[in-house]
């Protein structure tokens, strides 16, 4: 239907051509639009015809992040964005490559290679990304890789729990083997680690509770082999986000609360069986998508400040967020 070509050698289905194919495509498009309209959230103010396609969700979310947490200069000065479960980096490309906003992706599927963070090597460019680079005069594969490597992008191959534990024990690791033997963090659960990291990160040198200043991604004072520790990587971000982060949806909130940063998450699947401990205020377990949204609203800020808004793309497009004070 999409390209007018059938790859099956023995197919008993209809294969319209010319005007008949165009009519079939139009009917199929109307059918999909009707399905999306019926499945849409009744509170969503956007018409289905106005929404951008699923492939453009990262671009739409990036524009929204800049609108709510920006402008661009403010996001850069605040240290940029920490994205949880960023996958192949679609949102990171929109923020870091197209707009020059520092972006760090935390995802066990990242290529890794850093301790804990590294530049993003061997970037797998999608067709829209290749076309965008081509429009900027960057045509070859090598030139595209070099351009991405020079942008303010970092990737961390790790789980949220590993990042929290690494940041909480960062000072003990730097102290040396003698001090590590008596490390009080060794047998503590991730929740305790997150709480202790929050206390450490939010306390300034003067004890005024001011978050540490953002650190530049390309610091000439660092040698090429010197690595940023977890405490530095996490503490230098300005906002924590997640776009359809699946099982890591709760991790966006964990990091935001531990760092004392605002957050924005676009939830998708509930994964109720993976998180039976999640409950709503009335004690009901989180089982449905609507339950998950309600849980995020109630758990997000801890102060009842979480908000929600519909984004202009098809599919699950509700963002739950806490705007900066």
The pLDDT averaged over each successive group of 10 residues in the chain (325 residues) is 70 79 77 67 84 93 96 94 94 96 94 82 90 94 92 92 83 40 39 42 37 38 48 90 95 91 94 93 92 87 74 94 84
The model's pTM:
0.75
By CB atoms closer than 10 A (0-12, 13-18, 19+), residue 42 is exposed
The pLDDT value given to residue 122: 84
Contact 194, 218 (CB under 8 A): no
How many C-beta neighbours within 10 Å does residue 320 have?
Answer: 26
The pLDDT value given to residue 196: 43
CATH number of 58-173+186-322: 3.40.50
The pLDDT value given to residue 116: 85
If you compute the radius of gyration of the chain from its CA atoms, what whole number of angstroms results? Answer: 22
The pLDDT value given to residue 5: 74
The pLDDT value given to residue 18: 79
Instruction: Determine the Cα–Cα distance for residues 272 and 278; give it in Å rounded to an integer.
Output: 8
290, 218, 221, 253: which is closest to 42 by C-alpha? Answer: 290
Contact 90, 58 (CB under 8 A): yes
List, in sequence order, every residue forming a beta bridge with 242; answer none if it has no partner: 265
Contacts of residue 44, Cβ cutoff 8 Å, sequence gap at least 6: 310, 317, 318
The pLDDT value given to residue 38: 64
The pLDDT value given to residue 230: 87
219, 253, 228: which is closest to 239 by C-alpha? Answer: 253
């Amino acid at each position: 239907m999409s390209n007018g070509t059938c790859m099956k050698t023995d197919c008993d289905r209809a294969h319209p051509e010319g005007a008949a194919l165009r009519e079939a495509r139009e009917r199929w498009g109307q059918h999909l639009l009707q399905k999306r309209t019926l499945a849409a959230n009744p509170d969503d103010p956007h018409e289905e015809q106005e929404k951008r396609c699923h492939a453009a969700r990262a671009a739409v979310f990036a524009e929204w992040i800049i609108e709510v947490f920006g402008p661009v200069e403010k996001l850069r000065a605040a240290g940029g964005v920490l994205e949880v479960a960023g996958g192949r980096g679609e949102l990171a490309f929109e923020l870091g490559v197209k707009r020059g906003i520092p972006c760090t992706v935390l995802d066990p599927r990242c290529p890794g290679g850093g301790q804990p963070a590294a530049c993003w090597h061997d970037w797998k460019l999608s067709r829209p990304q290749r076309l965008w680079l081509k429009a900027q005069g960057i045509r070859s594969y090598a030139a595209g890789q070099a351009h991405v490597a020079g942008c303010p992008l970092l990737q961390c191959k790790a789980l949220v729990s590993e990042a929290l534990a690494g940041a909480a024990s960062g000072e003990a690791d730097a102290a040396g083997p003698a001090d590590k033997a008596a490390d009080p963090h060794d047998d503590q659960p991730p929740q305790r680690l997150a709480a202790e990291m929050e206390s450490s990160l939010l306390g300034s040198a003067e004890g005024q509770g001011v978050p540490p200043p953002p650190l530049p991604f390309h610091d000439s004072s660092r040698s090429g082999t010197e690595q940023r520790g977890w405490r530095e990587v996490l503490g230098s971000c300005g906002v924590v986000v997640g776009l359809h982060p699946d099982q890591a949806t709760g991790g966006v909130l964990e990091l935001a609360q531990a760092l004392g940063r605002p957050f924005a998450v676009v939830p998708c699947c509930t994964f109720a069986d993976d998180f039976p401990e999640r409950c709503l205020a009335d004690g009901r377990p989180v089982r449905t998508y609507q339950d998950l949204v309600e849980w995020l609203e109630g758990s997000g800020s801890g102060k009842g400040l979480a908000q929600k808004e519909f984004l202009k793309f098809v599919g699950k497009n509700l963002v739950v967020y806490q705007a900066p004070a």
